[in-house]
Structure 1
């Protein structure tokens, strides 16, 4: 499928005003995408889990207008910087939604988790926005199958935030062309195309909020620093290899080997940041303290607890539901003190 497939052929209805709504969860990458080319195309494929409790809710009120304009409210506070970004984004997707500049928009959005703290708020944010726009397009007359609707939403979300394309789907999603996995594409994400072993359908994700403020370096800047990075080509090769292995492990049910690769992917992501030019560090001292505690706990208890990190200091603890009691006690007794204000999110995978 090419970009041309997402250009509609329908004649749109003349609707003066209306409102559309959507909810989209964040996702946590297991094999990381880091580095891109052209218009939000990934330098390597990635796979993620879509969460349940970490989500964005968005509503768009639209009014027919000779003057195209966008207002954005985050938690009921007007956001002029976001509005400028969304204004540019809307114009960039006019080819795929020809009506987009014929209306004025009032966008209200809210997150269930701290914004810009490394929990992929841009992913759930642009995912919700893309789903709203698909709802609007269909209200105006575009006709799609459910599969194509989600694929186009993923395509549109990607143009706003790369990882957002994976948030469109529940469960596991893969984004990026892989020669070993059928139907994968750099243009949009697809749902995991294989059978999933039972243990991977019950994953718990407790997010320890080590740092709730904005990141010092945005993900967009971080991706750009991969251009000319001395280890970039090796990293991209490794990600392709790890993706194939993780897909096999999810089918076979090998949780331990899966956890080892996921942890390695998280640490590699931050190693690429620390070896960029200029270098930067997003993890905090308490992030490292938690990792050390996890490794010791796993060694002593044989608990099936592993971690991953996104582009930030917060830690995602991944474990099967069957070990929830043991690991909840460990979090309460040993890890919660390392979080900012004792805050965490009790999450799980959304299927």
Structure 2
């Protein structure tokens, strides 16, 4: 598979206007993607649980222009409010994908988007938002080229999503999606996310994720800046090698349902991500005191209860509490009794594994 595979031939249909809508979820990486090369190519492979409740709904209304506009013509609304300050990011995305969707210059687009989770809550809205927009655009292309098959539709949606936000490539399908070339995962690619192709034990098909909102403020460092800090990082090569090794280990863990080994890898990956930020130049500490308190309480509760609760983190202070559905009642009570006090305004989100994006 190469980039050339996604450059369309002449379209067979003519369409003057229309509207399409998609809902796309966020995801939480188990093996973290941190560091990238030119063209949104990951420096290491990653794998994630696709979420279900935390999603973005995007509607795309389009109408044919009297003549093509090389600067692209669009308006964007979030929760019903016009957001002109989002336009540069969308314009950059359109520029990146233009050769793969040449009709972009021929229409005016109205992008209306909303999230099922609170704004600035630390959920990966770039993953859900960019994948939802990419799906809407691919839906337009499918109308221009009705011969497009479902498999290619999903693959191209992941390919385009990646060019908006790397992790968005993992939001198209579910419940487990792997992105980035890996020697022992057949079909893996730096260009697209793929549904994990091997055996997965039943316990991992219904996992829960409660997201504790420790700090809802703006990120201390953007993901783009964070990824760039991996260039010339003193431990970058060791980190990239570790990600490959952990993915190989997960292959056995997923097949056998080994929760103890799963916990070791997931928590280690989360702490390694933050270690990379603490040892970069410049360096950042993204965890807050309440993040550490939550982690320590999870460890203590797991030891005392003999449950399989664990945590993971994105590049921020909020904590994703992961646990099997069979232990949901006990762990939900633990969260309410001990962890909610460390959340900003007591806010947290209950979610679980989902199957990917759907037409709205």
Task: State the TM-score bracket (shorter-chain normalisation).
Answer: over 0.9
Q: Which residue pairs with 1:28 in the alignment? A: 28
Aligned partner of 2:86 in structure 1 is: 82
Deviation of 1:11 (Å): 2.1
Q: How does 1:112-261 map to 2 (within 5 A)?
A: 112-261=116-265
Q: 2:46 matched to which residue of 1? A: 46
Matched with 2:103 is 99
SS of the residue 1:300 aligns to: helix
Asked if residue 315 in structure 1 is aligned to residue 324 in structure 2, the reply is: no
Shift of 1:12: 4.3
Give the secondary-structure state (helix, strand or coil) at the position aligned to 1:163. Answer: helix
User: How much does 1:117 deviate?
Assistant: 4.0
**2:176 & 2:252 partners in 1: Cα distance?**
13
User: Alignment partner of 1:297: what SS?
Assistant: helix
1:108-162: per-residue Cα shift (whole Å, max 9, x none)? Answer: 1111113344321100011101110111111122522211110000000000000
Residue in 1 that maps onto 2:274: 270
CA distance in 2, matches of 1:295, 1:14: 59
1-side partners of 2:119 and 2:269: how far apart? 23
**CA-to-partner distance for each residue in 1:268-303, whole Å, 9 max, x for gaps?**
001101111101122111111100100111111111
For the residue of structure 2 that corresponds to 1:317, the secondary structure is: strand
Unaligned runs of 5+ in 2: 356-360
1:64 positional shift: 1.1
Distance 1:142 1:222, change over 3 A: farther
In the aligned structure 1, how far is the partner of 2:248 from the partner of 2:347? 35
Distance (Å, rounded) in 1 between the aligned partners of 2:298 and 2:188: 34
Q: Structure 1 residues 223, 117: closer, same or farther in 2, change over 3 A?
A: farther
Q: In 2, Cα distance between the equivalents of 1:12 and 1:149?
A: 16
For 2:218 and 2:112, the matched residues in 1 are separated by 21
- C-alpha contact 1:47 1:174 (8 A) present in aligned 2: yes
State the Cα distance separating 1:202 from its structure 2 match: 1.5
TM-score by length of 2: 0.95
Hey, what's the Cα distance between the residues in 1 that align with 2:313 and 2:291? 9
CA distance in 2 between partners of 1:262 and 1:38 (Å): 27
| Structure 1 position 88, deviation (Å) | 2.2
The offset of 1:264, in angstroms, is 0.3
- The structure 2 residue matched to 1:330, chosen from 334, 337, 340, is 334
State the 1:181 CA deviation. Answer: 0.8
Which string of whole-angstrom CA distances, capped at 9 and with x for unpartnered residues, describes residues 293-341 of structure 1? 0011111111110110111111111111111111111111100000011
Asked if the contact 2:176/2:195 (under 8 Å) is kept, the reply is yes
What is the alpha-carbon distance in structure 1 between the residues aligned to residue 38 and residue 119 of structure 2? 27
Q: Tell me the alpha carbon deviations over residues 202-233 of structure 1, each in whole angstroms, 9 at most, x when there is no partner.
A: 10111111111221211011000110111100
Structure 1, unpaired ranges of 5+: none
CA RMSD of superposed structures (Å): 1.1
Corresponding residue for residue 64 of structure 1: 64
Q: Quote how far apart the aligned CAs of 1:84 are.
A: 1.7
The alpha-carbon deviation at position 18 of structure 1 amounts to: 1.0
